Amino acid sequence: MRINTRTATAVAAAALCAGALAGCSDSGSGSASKENPADFVAASATTSPSSSMPASPSVNPSEEVGKVSVKTGPFGKILVNGKGHTLYLFEADKAKKSTCSGDCIVDWPPALVKGTPQAGTGVKANLLTTTTRSDGTKQAMYNGHPLYTFREDTKPGDTKGQDLTEFGAKWFVVSPEGKAITTPPQSASPTSTTSPTASESAGASPTAS
């Protein structure tokens, strides 16, 4: 009878321990399953990148020529753009096409236009046309010469590009007739102001005493 009691007690104790172990194991797995989704949600909330990126600024197009006019300066009457900057022709251009591209247009920006360029005072409208560049833009052309400005001409009236040899040929300012002006700049002729000298003024005959 004692043996049966002890056996029953041992069996009960073993069953109780097994139940306790199973309960600990279940509670542990349950807590782990609850932590994973929470951790995932928190991580997702903190690491989601912002989809709103600022747009890159658009590149400003080359300055348009505007109205082509005639201005008088050291080289006589020459063509200028709408802001008074000197316009040039490039002797390398042939067959009414521009051969200036790449690094060339950095120093010599093409006189771009939209539509038909406007002829100002002194300009012959029938000589003012356009040519299509390789990139599809329209460039003002006068008497068959594509027109350009010069990067170092920082203000109206500058003619620093005149008679330069760059990118394989000469650059010249343009006359109202549409030809290259190759003559030297005109120097201001000195005005002849011949005032009588003091000795000439004093050369009058003395009065008789």
Q: What is the rounded CA–CA span in Å between residue 171 and residue 77? A: 16
pLDDT value of position 101: 95
pLDDT value of position 64: 75
Pair 79, 87: CB distance under 8 Å: yes
pLDDT value of position 191: 43
Closest CA to 161 of 142, 180, 178, 176: 180
pLDDT value of position 14: 52
User: Does residue 159 sit in helix, strand or coil?
Assistant: coil
Enter the pTM of the model: 0.61
Closest CA to 107 of 185, 160, 69: 160
Q: Could you read off the pLDDT tens digit of each residue along the chain, which spans 209 residues?
A: 444 544 445 545 555 445 444 454 444 444 444 445 444 344 444 444 443 433 333 223 445 788 999 999 999 999 999 999 999 999 999 999 999 999 999 999 999 998 889 999 999 999 999 999 999 999 999 999 999 999 999 999 999 999 999 999 999 999 999 999 999 998 644 444 444 444 444 444 444 44
